[in-house]
Amino acid sequence: MTDAVQSKVTQRRRIGSRDLEVTGLSLGTAPLGGLYRDLSDEDAHATIDAAWRAGMRYFDTAPHYGNTLAEHRLGTALRRYPRDEYVLSTKAGRRFVPRKTPFDNTEGWQNPLPFEAIYDYTHDGILRSFEDSQQRLGIVEIDILLVHDIGRVTHGENDAHYWSQLTQGGGFRALGELRASGAVKAVGLGVNEGAAILEAMDAFDIDCALLAGRYTLLEQTTLADLLPACEKRGVSILLGGAFNSGILARGVEGDLKFNYGAAPPEVIERVARIERVCKAHEVPIAAAALQFPYAHSAVATVLTGARSADELRENVASFERPIPAELWSALRDEGLLDTAAPVPRS
C-alpha cells in the first residue's frame, strides 16, 4: 500500500467538549520505546514519518515507554513538522531518575535508557513530570496530559496510597491548573482498566481516557458500564491495545501475547474461533480488530503501535479495508461479539 492519505484514517472526532480533534487512526509509541523488541532510531523515525504520510495527526507517548526513550524519539521526529497540524499527548505519574538498581527487563523494554521510575501522582509530581516531558520532547505545546497507570491493576494493595496523591495530594488539581492556564488543552487518564476511569470521573472533570484493551474484538467488558458513562459525561475514549498486546494482530499463528503477557489457553481458543469466522469472510483478523472499536461513538480514535514503516502501512491498510456486514453478524451468531456492541458499517 502507498502512503496516500486515507479517508478513514483522517476522519476526525472531538475530544470531549474541548476545541481539539484527533484522527481516526493514530500512533501509539510504546513499540518505539523498545517494547519486546529493540529497534534503531532510524526505524523509529521512519515509522513516525510513515504515520504522517498516511494522514495520522495524533501521536501519543509516555515517559514510561523505554524509560523516556520514546519521548526522545517522537520529539525528534515531530519537530520537523508544522506544530499546528498535529495533536500530541504524553503522560504523568512517574518521575524518572538515573538508575540505581540493576535492570531486570520485567517490563519488557529492550535496550531502554538508563533511568528508573518513581511513582508520583502529587501536585508537584505531576507538574515536574509535565515539564520533564516538554524537555525530552523538545516541544512545549503538549495538547493532552494523561495520568498514567493509576488503579488497582498496576498498584494492587498500594492503590489507595497513590489514589490519595491524586485527590488529597493535589494531582488532579495540577491537571486542572495546567488546563485552565492553557498549558494543555485536555486532561485525562491512560490506564488498562475501566474501573479507574469511572472512579476518576467521579472525582474530577476529565476530558478523555486512553484505555488499553478492555474494548476490543476479543473483549467488550466496558460496554455495559464505562462506555455509556463516557457518552453521558462527554468523556472521549482514546482506544489503545486494539490487538490485545499482539494476539489479534495475526491470530494464533502470530504473537501469542495478551495483556502484556503470555496468552492463556482460553484466550487462544477464543481468538482461534474469531479467526475462523474472519477467514470464512476473507477478512484479516487485524482489520476486524482495528475497525471494530471505532464503531462506538465514545471512541475518538484507535491508537496503533508499529516498529517499522512497513508495519505502520499494514495497520493503515487494515483500518481502511472494506469489511462485509456479514462478518459482524456471523461473530454475533457464534457468541463471539456482544450483541449490544455497535459495529462498523460497510
Where in the sequence numbering do the catalytic residues fall? 60, 65, 91
CA distance 271 to 248: 7
Number of residues written out for the chain? 346
Cβ-in-10-Å burial (0-12, 13-18, 19+) of 10 comes to middle
CA distance 111 to 33: 9
28 near 303, Cβ under 8 Å?
A: yes
Q: How many Å is the Cα radius of gyration of the chain?
A: 19
Q: What is the largest CA-CA distance in the chain?
A: 56
How many angstroms from the chain centroid is the CA of residue 74? 15
φ, ψ for residue 11, nearest 5 deg: -60, 140
- The closest of 199, 221, 224, 219 to 209, measured between CA atoms, is 199
CA distance 207 to 225: 17
The strand ranges marked E within the chain are 12-14, 21-23, 25-28, 58-60, 87-92, 94-98, 115-119, 144-148, 186-191, 208-212, 236-240, 257-258, 261-262, 299-304
Nine cell digits for residue 312: 505502520
Nine cell digits for residue 100: 540505581
SS3 95: strand
A 10 A CB-CB count for 228 gives: 12
Runs of H (alpha helix) within 218-293: 226-233, 247-250, 265-280, 285-291
- The closest of 135, 302, 96 to 212, measured between CA atoms, is 302
Give the C-alpha distances (Å, rounded to integers) separating 322 from 282, 287, 309.
Answer: 11, 9, 22
